[in-house]
Structure 1
């Protein structure tokens, strides 16, 4: 009997790449251009993973829609400018990320995908910058879905690949990723090197400390019954 296809979905910011400095710089530029005080770094990072309109509303709920729209546009412009000027340095891959992706990509029964709060433009640019164009068979972005933790991204990735929930994993660094996995009926693996505290990953099936541990969990996950 042939091995079924399995789908592994990755969050991006805080999971595959460390974009913290760029996110904070773009936020400061956006808030400064709008004449507003930038929220504390800890508050900014706690919302990473949400789509931008939802994140801005959470950061400054007292602001009107026009101001929120201005903040979203300002952030996108600033982030784009930083990406253009710094190249891959604006969002470097975490140590161990590329080697794990390469190893998983070579496994014929695995499909890799992305489920991210980034825009399509931002994700496509990041993938091109790191030479990952062939890596992901499905790319789910904020432009086309409700914000995490709504399960739409995972549901759509599964529909595109034809992989059932029991053969799908979601890997991410935030509570939103793990809540999205739960809402979609798939297992979540939380990573501790990202932007949410370990305590926020309480709904994860596993929590891992580094890419070596992640590789070990992935290597054994489907060898026992996880239903």
Structure 2
């Protein structure tokens, strides 16, 4: 039996974390005495590693200032997560059922490739009781920021599958560009933080709802080219 691998982004794909991310950015920028970027600007950088995100948001700032913003973001995010638990970043409706359906398939493996830190991802997975689902968890601590293909390449190695047997599922152009760089089909989701029209040029397919995800994966695996 040949194996296949579904690699998931997290924020905007599996969990609706926009309120948590915006609140952490507000805490970071407010704590530094800087104007808070717009909600649209903040959501546009979801998926990037924090250092790259801050560079996009305040390119004119000194490196020490951006480093302070990263620390402020982490501190605010961590405090809010401890206070709110699983409600801090709720799963999108149907996400748990979709993951469990894929996990029940004997030839399908699941992985994560996210801009989150190891601590943040592990805490989120534990909060939602998803510890047993993912064979590979790739995080920003260990890799260059998306869209560099390093996270996908590591997930492929962990699973022992080739690019043609894998699909990268995500809601941002960074996910789709990362998939293309790794030679893996990209499946865009339309409920996240980047507009569908931005995903379409590089995604193999873009789906509108969670119920469409498993059938779309089957279609791609039937015809990986």
TM-score, normalised with respect to structure 2: 0.98
In structure 2, the gaps of 5 or more residues are none
Contact 2:112 2:134 in 1 (8 A): yes
1:167 counterpart = 2:182: no
1:205 counterpart = 2:204: yes
In structure 1, the gaps of 5 or more residues are none
1:108 counterpart = 2:93: no
1:122 counterpart = 2:107: no
* CA displacement, residues 31-88 of structure 1 (integer Å, 9 cap, x when unaligned): 0010100010000000100000000011001110111110000000000011000001
Cα displacement (A) at 1:90: 0.7
Cα displacement (A) at 1:218: 1.9
Cα displacement (A) at 1:174: 0.1
Equivalent position of 1:51 in the other structure: 49
In structure 2, what is the Cα distance between the partners aligned to 1:73 and 1:67? 10
1:7 counterpart = 2:10: no
Pairing 1:28-43 to 2, within 5 Å after superposition: 28-43=26-41
In structure 2, what is the Cα distance between the partners aligned to 1:157 and 1:128? 20
Q: Match of 2:5, SS?
A: strand
In structure 2, what is the Cα distance between the partners aligned to 1:24 and 1:219? 35
Equivalent position of 1:71 in the other structure: 69
The runs of at least 4 consecutive aligned structure 1 residues that moved more than 6 Å come to none
Q: Match of 2:216, SS?
A: helix
In structure 2, what is the Cα distance between the partners aligned to 1:204 and 1:219? 16
Cα displacement (A) at 1:226: 2.4
In structure 1, what is the Cα distance between the partners aligned to 2:73 and 2:190? 26
Q: Match of 2:13, SS?
A: coil
Equivalent position of 1:193 in the other structure: 191
In structure 1, what is the Cα distance between the partners aligned to 2:220 and 2:52? 33
Size of the aligned set, in residue pairs, is 224
